[in-house]
Structure 1
Amino acid sequence: MTSVVSGTAATTGPCATGAPRAPLRWRAAGRLAAALPDIRGRDRVTGWVRGTPRFTGPLRGRLTNGMVFELPDCRDGSVRDLVELCYRPPALAGVFDTVLRPGDCCYDVGANIGVYTLWAAGAVGPTGQVHAFEPVPEPRAVLTALAARNGLTQVRPTAAAVGSTAGTVRLRLHPGASGLTHQVPPGSVVSPADAAVLTVPATTLDRHAARHRRPDLIKIDVEGFELDVLLGATELLRAHRPAVLLEMLPSHLTRRGDQARGKLIDVLARAGYRLFNLTRRGLADEGEFTANVLALHPGWARFDPVVAALHRTPFPRNQTT
C-alpha cells in the first residue's frame, strides 16, 4: 500500500506507531466485518465479537487508503468506527473514487469527524480542495486533528451548518454519538436550559460557492435535513451541476416533515437531475430508494463514464460508515 500521507510510503497494515492500538476484540470484529459476505446478520455477529465498549483510548491506526489516525480518546462512537475502517473502506468510498479526480473540489456537508473528508482528500490530492462543513466543535476538532496529522492542506474545515438560508440553527446533540446530531425542526420549543441543544451559525451552499471553489461532488448527511441543504443550493445545482451524494432515510426525513422526501426529489428533478440507488449489485435507477442515493445531471461532462463505472460497483447493505 502506498500512503497518501505527506507523500511518504506506508507499511501495509492497519497500525501506526505511537498510541496503543484498539483492543483485540475490536480488531477481530473489524477483520471479521471485512471478511464476511454482505448478508443479514453480519452486523449482529461483528457486534457480538466487538462486545460492549469499555476502552476509552487513546486510539491509533491506519485506514485502507493510507490515512492515519492517533486520537486521545474514543468515547464517541464515530471514533470507534475508525477501527473497522482499518480493514475495509467506508461504505460509500466507491462514489468518491469514481467521481473525484486529482485537482477536484468536494463539499462534505455534515462531515462529523471527517471519514469521508479524508477519503475525498486522498482522491483530489494536494491540488484539490475538500470543504468540510461541521458546526459541532468536538467532532470538528477531531476532523481538524486528522487533517493535520496527515498533512492534508487541501482540507478546509468550516464551522457552520448548511441549510436553506444563512443565519443560525439549533442542533440536537447526542453525547457519545456525534453521528446522530441533527437540526431541531423550526418552530420546536426548546428549554433555554437544555444542554443537549446547541445554536450554531448556518450558511447556504450557494453563498459558500460564490466565495470559494465550486464543487464537483457534494456529499450531504445531515440526519433528515438534506432538503434544506438542497434548497440553499439551487443556483449551484442549476449552473454547475455537481454530483450529489445524499442520505435519504425515511425515518430521518420525517424530522423535516411528512412531505420532505417528495419535496427533495422534486428539487433535484426540477434541476434536471436523475436519482440512482446504490445497491449490492451496483448503481440502479429503479426500485425502492436505498439508504443513500446519487444524483447526477445528464448534462454533466462525466455522466456517462461515472454511471458506467458505478453500474459495476457493489455497495454494502449497511451504508452508515
Structure 2
Amino acid sequence: MLLDPREWTQLELIQFGVTEPATTALFERLLGSGDIAIDVGSHVGTLSLLAAHSVGAQGHVYAIDPQPHNCHLVLTNSAASGFGNITTICAAVGQEDGFITLQHQSDQDRARLSLANIGPNDQPYPFVVPLVSVDDLAIRYEMPRIRLLKIDVEGYELAVLEGCKASLSRVDNVIVEVLPESGAAFAAQLARILSAAGFKFSSVTGEAWSPGQALTENNLWASR
C-alpha cells in the first residue's frame, strides 16, 4: 500500500500493519469467494483491499469515501495490488441522494471527516461531493445479496442506515462504528433499526451486545 506518514492513522498502519485487529480478523472470517462487500467510509482502502482479496475475481467491493485524497489512495492501492474488483466511489453516504458541502482537512488527519459534527481538523476550504444512499447503490449496481456492509462515518451512521432500509433485507452482516461520544440515544436508535431488520448484536470479538455496553474497537457486529 501507498501510505502517507504525515497522517496519524496511516502512520499506525506503517508501524503496526493494522489499526483494528479484531475488526480486520472478522472481515477475513466473514468474506469468501464471490461475495459482495460495501465499505462506507473506506479511508485509504485498508479493509477494502482485504475484502477484495477475500472475495476474489467473482466477488466485488464498493469502497466509498467523501474525501478525494482518500479515494485517490484507494485507487492507487487497488492498482498496485492488481485488484480490478474494487469500485471506488467518491461520495458521502446518507439517507437520500443529492450533494453536500464538506470542509478540507489537514494532511495530518483525513480520517475524521464528518457529516454529523464539526471535524477536528476542518479547514475553511469547502468542496462539494455527491450524497448517495445504500439503497440507490444496491439498485444501481444490481446487488442481489450483500455479504458485508461496513459503516464508519464519524457519527453519521444513523443517516446511512436510514438510507438502506429497503436493502437491509439483502444484507447478511453489518459492522458499524458506535463511538461512545455519540451517546446512549444514538446506540439505542441504531439497535432499533437493525433489530427491526432481523439482526442480532455482538462485538467484533463475538460477545453478545446490548445498547449501553462498551464495544471492542468501538465496532458493533450485527448478523443474522
Deviation track 1:186-238 (CA, whole Å, cap 9, x = no partner) reads: xx9xxxx921x433211000110012124210011000111111100001113
Equivalent residue number for residue 71 of structure 2: 140
Alpha-carbon distance in structure 1 between the residues aligned to 2:17 and 2:147: 27
Equivalent residue number for residue 153 of structure 1: 84
Contact 2:146 2:171 in 1 (8 A): no
Give the AA of the match of 1:204: S
Alpha-carbon distance in structure 2 between the residues aligned to 1:218 and 1:162: 12
Give the AA of the match of 1:150: S
Q: Secondary structure at the match of 1:234?
A: coil
Equivalent residue number for residue 220 of structure 2: 293
Percent identity reads 29
Question: How many residues matched?
Answer: 213
1:180 equivalenced with 2:112 (yes/no): yes
Contact 1:134 1:140 in 2 (8 A): yes
Contact 2:116 2:156 in 1 (8 A): no
**Structure 1 residues 88 and 180: alpha-carbon distance in aligned structure 2, compared to 1, 3 A threshold:** closer
1:96 equivalenced with 2:39 (yes/no): no
Deviation at 1:135, TM superposition (A): 1.6
Equivalent residue number for residue 250 of structure 1: 180
Alpha-carbon distance in structure 1 between the residues aligned to 2:18 and 2:193: 38
Deviation at 1:177, TM superposition (A): 0.7
Q: Which of these residues, 197, 202, 211, is aligned with residue 271 of structure 1?
A: 197
Alpha-carbon distance in structure 2 between the residues aligned to 1:150 and 1:182: 29
Deviation track 1:122-147 (CA, whole Å, cap 9, x = no partner) reads: 11112211100012111111111000
Equivalent residue number for residue 26 of structure 1: none
Give the AA of the match of 1:267: I
1:284 equivalenced with 2:214 (yes/no): no
Deviation track 1:27-83 (CA, whole Å, cap 9, x = no partner) reads: xxxxxxxxxxxxxxxxxxxxxxxxxxxxxxxxxxxxxxxxxx245x43222332221
Give the AA of the match of 2:115: Q
Equivalent residue number for residue 43 of structure 1: none
Give the AA of the match of 2:199: Y
Contact 1:173 1:182 in 2 (8 A): no
Alpha-carbon distance in structure 2 between the residues aligned to 1:202 and 1:88: 27
Equivalent residue number for residue 139 of structure 2: 210
Normalised to the residue count of structure 1, the TM-score between the two structures is 0.61
Contact 2:38 2:146 in 1 (8 A): yes
Equivalent residue number for residue 259 of structure 1: 185
**Structure 1 residues 89 and 277: alpha-carbon distance in aligned structure 2, compared to 1, 3 A threshold:** closer
**Structure 1 residues 286 and 142: alpha-carbon distance in aligned structure 2, compared to 1, 3 A threshold:** closer
Alpha-carbon distance in structure 2 between the residues aligned to 1:184 and 1:89: 23
Equivalent residue number for residue 82 of structure 1: 13
Alpha-carbon distance in structure 1 between the residues aligned to 2:22 and 2:116: 27
Structure ID, larger Rg: 1
Q: Secondary structure at the match of 1:194?
A: strand
Alpha-carbon distance in structure 2 between the residues aligned to 1:232 and 1:273: 17
CA RMSD in angstroms comes to 2.2
**Structure 1 residues 260 and 146: alpha-carbon distance in aligned structure 2, compared to 1, 3 A threshold:** same
Q: Secondary structure at the match of 2:37?
A: strand
Q: Secondary structure at the match of 1:108?
A: strand
Alpha-carbon distance in structure 1 between the residues aligned to 2:214 and 2:138: 29
Alpha-carbon distance in structure 1 between the residues aligned to 2:61 and 2:69: 19
